[in-house]
Amino acid sequence: MAQLAIAPVLFHLAFPVSNIPETKAFYVEGLGCEPGRENPHCLIMKLYGHQLVAHVTSEPLTPPSSIYPRHFGLIFLAEADWQNLRDRVVAKELGFYQPPRTRFVNTPLEHKTFFLADPFHNLIEIKFYRHAEAIFGNRDQHAVGDTPLISTP
């Protein structure tokens, strides 16, 4: 199996929210993010070592019609970590935008996934690939996106 190279950098993502208390309830209390600096207009958080920045906006935040094209998330390298976050989502009653399932079963691209929607309609995908080389490799495979749903217990 090919080794997955981890870059010595952090990922930063800024996204819109309508208020900080709901942001903290979902991301800090719910997902387990570590809060950082904050003011009435912004909250910086650590999500599994990466920086999320929630910026308050007065613009309308509308639900997406699909998970495509815009969402963000995590790819766990250990299935147990994916399962632990899935279990936390259930325990914290965050609700699934799309429930846990397995995509591309019995192929080199097989992965477990679920989607969340925060209170501001930002979509979050949480994945675990059965074969780590599928994260960036397997260029001979061309499948991307949804397939018929297969529930994951």
Domains and CATH numbers, the chain: 11-57 (3.10.180.10), 67-138 (3.10.180.10)
SS3 20: helix
Is 6 a residue whose pLDDT tops 50?
Answer: yes
Structure tokens at 91: 């325990």
Residue 91: pLDDT band (50, 70, 90) is: very high
What's the whole-model pTM score? 0.87
pLDDT in tens, 116-148: 999 999 999 999 999 999 988 766 766 666 644
pLDDT > 90: what percent of the chain?
76
Average pLDDT over residues 75-89: 97
Strands 123-129 and 72-76: parallel
Show Cβ contacts of residue 133 under 8 Å, excluding neighbours closer than 6 positions: 1, 2, 4, 108
Is 35 a residue whose pLDDT tops 60?
Answer: yes
Is 1 a residue whose pLDDT tops 70?
Answer: no
Nearest by Cα to 38 from 52, 26, 58, 59: 52
